[in-house]
């Protein structure tokens, strides 16, 4: 006999939800909108992913030219993901020089993992590493030891 509490099977062709934990998007003290833990997230657990349009790195760099806020991640030497039109809340993850999460590229996927326990309401941040800003955009993270520019 089927269990009334079991989830409905996912319709064929509908991708699984890439979010493993609830994440809210709201105004950030760092910059614009930010991604915030909507529930407690344990250390070393996958928070979720961002998805988007697969484009060439050449096209990604063309799109990023002259734009301050982008939502593009290069996943290989040839391919990038443009999450500008994605509904995934982690696309709003801001940079911090002392992040609480890490961004990992695994099999062409852009995944986020908690580096330590995250409390509900805490902004999720990652170190962007190299950016298209070439050290010309002031960093607004406010973390001790901030490098100053992205």
CB 19 within 8 A of CB 88: yes
pLDDT, residue 118, reads 98
Enter the pTM of the model: 0.82
What share of the chain in percent tops pLDDT 70? 82
Distance CA 7, CA 79 (A): 35
The tens digit of pLDDT for each residue in 89-112 reads 999 999 999 999 999 999 888 999
pLDDT band at 120 (very low <50, low <70, confident <90, very high): very high
Phi then psi dihedrals of residue 62, to 5 deg: -65, -45
- Tell me what the pLDDT averaged over the chain comes to: 85
Distance, first Cα to last Cα, the chain: 57
> Are 137 and 150 within 8 A, CB to CB?
yes
Nearest residue to 69 via CA among 30, 100, 101, 104? 30
User: Is the Cβ–Cβ distance between 119 and 132 less than 8 Å?
Assistant: no
- Helix, strand or coil, per DSSP, at residue 53: strand
Statement: residue 15 has pLDDT above 80? no
Secondary structure (3-state) at 49: strand
Question: For residue 125, what are the β-bridge partners?
Answer: 94
For residue 68, what pLDDT is reported? 65
H helices within 11-138, ranges in order?
57-64
Q: How confident is the model at residue 20 (pLDDT cuts 50, 70, 90)?
A: confident
| Predicted confidence (pLDDT) per residue in 39-55, tens digit | 999 999 999 999 999 99
Which pLDDT score, from 0 to 100, does residue 129 have? 72
Paired tokens of 55: 């484009």
The owner of tokens 């993270």 is 141
Q: Give the lowest-confidence range in 1-10, 75-84, 129-138.
A: 1-10
């Amino acid at each position: 006999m089927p269990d009334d509490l079991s989830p409905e099977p996912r319709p064929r062709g509908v991708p699984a939800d890439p979010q493993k934990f609830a994440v809210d998007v709201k105004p950030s003290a760092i910059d614009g909108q930010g991604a915030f833990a909507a529930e407690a997230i344990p250390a070393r657990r996958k928070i979720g992913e961002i998805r988007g349009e697969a484009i060439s790195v050449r096209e990604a760099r063309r799109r990023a030219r002259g734009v301050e806020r982008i939502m593009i991640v290069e996943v290989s030497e040839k391919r990038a993901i443009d999450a500008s039109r994605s509904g995934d809340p982690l696309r709003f993850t801001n940079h911090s020089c002392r992040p609480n999460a890490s961004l990992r590229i695994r099999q062409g996927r852009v995944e986020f993992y908690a580096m330590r326990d995250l409390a509900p309401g805490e902004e999720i941040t990652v170190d962007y590493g190299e950016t298209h800003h070439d050290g010309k955009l002031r960093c607004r993270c406010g973390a001790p030891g901030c490098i100053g520019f992205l």
